[in-house]
Amino acid sequence: MNNTNPILSDESEKMKNRELLEEYFSCSLEIDLLLRLCPDDEDTIYQIVDMLVDTCSTKRKMLRIAGDDKPTEVVRSRLKKLNADHIRFVLDSLAENTAPVRNMKQYLLAMLYNAPTTMNLYYQNKTNHDFARGSPKAG
């Protein structure tokens, strides 16, 4: 007879999955490096990892990102492509934001989801702006 409690084994499986995701994101996001480069953002970095783990371990079929419902597998796939540069971009963006945020969890999730597609454009725009301001005027 099998004495395995299905509820306990399900909880154990969830914890194992969570630990694997934490390990995955710690490596792929180079958390040790981020903590050295951004020591003032330690709490935020750990909150980002928690949010990524929570989001990737959800059992829901759809997730709302920036007002749109997206298949969880699509969101999970995009979040698993994040790296340390994306997290630094998100940290910089959070620091620059002066507008009040009503739902920080949704705002942060949208930033993380969109980071791979917006980061390069953001830095290009910033470079263009800085270059235009610093260039000598023709005259």
- Please report whether residue 93 resides in a domain: yes
Q: Tens-digit pLDDT profile for the chain (139 aa)?
A: 555 555 557 778 888 889 999 999 999 999 999 999 999 999 999 999 999 999 999 999 999 999 999 999 999 999 999 999 999 999 999 999 999 999 999 999 999 999 999 887 766 766 666 667 765 554 4
For residue 128, is it within any domain? no
Q: Of 16, 52, 17, which is closest to residue 31 (Cα–Cα)?
A: 52
CA distance 52 to 57: 8
Q: Is residue 4 part of a domain?
A: no
The span from the CA of 81 to the CA of 13, in Å, is 24
d(CA 71, CA 115): 18
d(CA 116, CA 111): 9
**Quick check: is 103 in a domain?**
yes
7 assigned to some structural domain: no
Q: What is the pTM of this model?
A: 0.80
Position 81 in a domain: yes
Contact 122, 93 (CB under 8 A): yes
Domain range for residue 41? 13-119
Q: Give the tokens for residue 97.
A: 């934001």
Burial of residue 16 (CB within 10 Å: 0-12, 13-18, 19+) is exposed
Pairing of strands 68-71, 62-65: antiparallel
Residue 84 lies in a domain: yes
Domain-embedded: residue 135: no
The structural domain count of the chain equals: 1
Q: For residue 35, what are its two tokens?
A: 């903590």
